[in-house]
Amino acid sequence: MKKTLLVLAVLVACNALQAQDKKEYPKPGQMTHDMTEFWEPQPKIVDPGKEKGDAPSDAIVLFDGKDLSQWMSPDGTEPTWKVKNGVATVVKENGKDIRTKQEFGSCQLHLEWCTPKNITGSDQGRGNSGVYLQGMYEVQILDCYQNETYANGMVGSIYKQSAPLVNPMKKPGEWNTYDIIYTAPVFKEDGTYLYEPRVTVLLNGVLVQNNTTIHGTTEFIGLPRTVKHGDGPIILQMHGDPSEPISFRNIWIRDLR
């Protein structure tokens, strides 16, 4: 009898220990849809405009066809390009680029440009211009309608670095559009890139650069250089090629800093 009681006591003790092993912990609650949704902050409302290419309500209009009051020559003097009938046209005789008075970093840039219907010249000598981001990195402008040149220097290229994915160029005399989304670089203290600049470019609504890394300055001769910089202007290039001058209209920018 005593033996039986002892066995029973041992069994009870074992069960108690096992019960302790089965300690229950809190279980995660049931997932519901609202656990992965956030409501604040709400993105601010932007009026996109009526027509394709219109400046959205939060854009800075850089050229609306009236004047070049947002621009100057690189030397700080008045811009020399002429404005007529809502377009700004290069004046080659003065030999000057134009640059924005304001400086920018990451941005969304829209501009429209057109080479004359009767344009002449070939290769790089045909409607050559360019748009420089932060004053450093050129997205090439060139009349490449039935005009071949080196692929990494044609329209839609990051000059001497990255050829465009395709060539959606319009005929001379027709307006082309550039929509450029640019991410400014971040530099280390020693002046090298922590993050290189990147750019996405649509030419006439067609993707030609897809988040392309820019490896430094866009040099005519030589390799890209790393030059530490901060915000910089948008520069439109006056190229010295002998072809008829290029024109611009409807230029706006959205500051993404």
- Binding to Mg ion (CB under 5 A) within 208-237 occurs at 237
- Give me the least distance between CB of 65 and Mg ion, in Å please: 23
E strands within the chain?
A: 60-63, 71-72, 82-84, 87-89, 98-100, 107-114, 129-133, 137-141, 176-183, 186-187, 193-195, 198-203, 206-213, 235-236, 247-255
- Give me the least distance between CB of 153 and Mg ion, in Å please: 8
In the bound state with Mg ion, the residue whose beta carbon lies nearer, of 80 and 157, is 157
Query: By CB under 5 A, which span of 17-25, 78-86, 130-138, 174-182 interacts with Mg ion?
Result: 130-138
φ, ψ at 153 (rounded to 5°):
-130, 10
In the bound state with Mg ion, the residue whose beta carbon lies nearer, of 149 and 237, is 237
In the bound state with Mg ion, the residue whose beta carbon lies nearer, of 87 and 236, is 236
- Give me the least distance between CB of 138 and Mg ion, in Å please: 6
Which residue in this structure is represented by tokens 């002998």?
242
In the bound state with Mg ion, the residue whose beta carbon lies nearer, of 80 and 128, is 128
CB 89 within 8 A of CB 81: yes
Both tokens assigned to 113: 């440009």
Question: CB neighbours (10 Å) of residue 221?
Answer: 5
Q: What is the C-alpha R_g of the chain?
A: 30
- Give me the least distance between CB of 112 and Mg ion, in Å please: 17
- Give me the least distance between CB of 94 and Mg ion, in Å please: 17
Q: Is 130 in the site for Mg ion (CB under 5 A)?
A: yes
Query: By CB under 5 A, which span of 82-90, 96-104, 125-133, 186-194 interacts with Mg ion?
Result: 125-133
In the bound state with Mg ion, the residue whose beta carbon lies nearer, of 59 and 234, is 234
For residue 127, count CB atoms less than 10 angstroms from its CB and return exposed for 0-12, middle for 13-18, buried for 19 or more.
buried
Q: Is 164 in the site for Mg ion (CB under 5 A)?
A: no
Dihedral angle of Cα 209, 72, 115, 170, to the nearest 10 degrees: 30
- Give me the least distance between CB of 164 and Mg ion, in Å please: 14
In the bound state with Mg ion, the residue whose beta carbon lies nearer, of 162 and 237, is 237
Residues within the interface to Mg ion (CB under 5 A)? 128, 130, 237
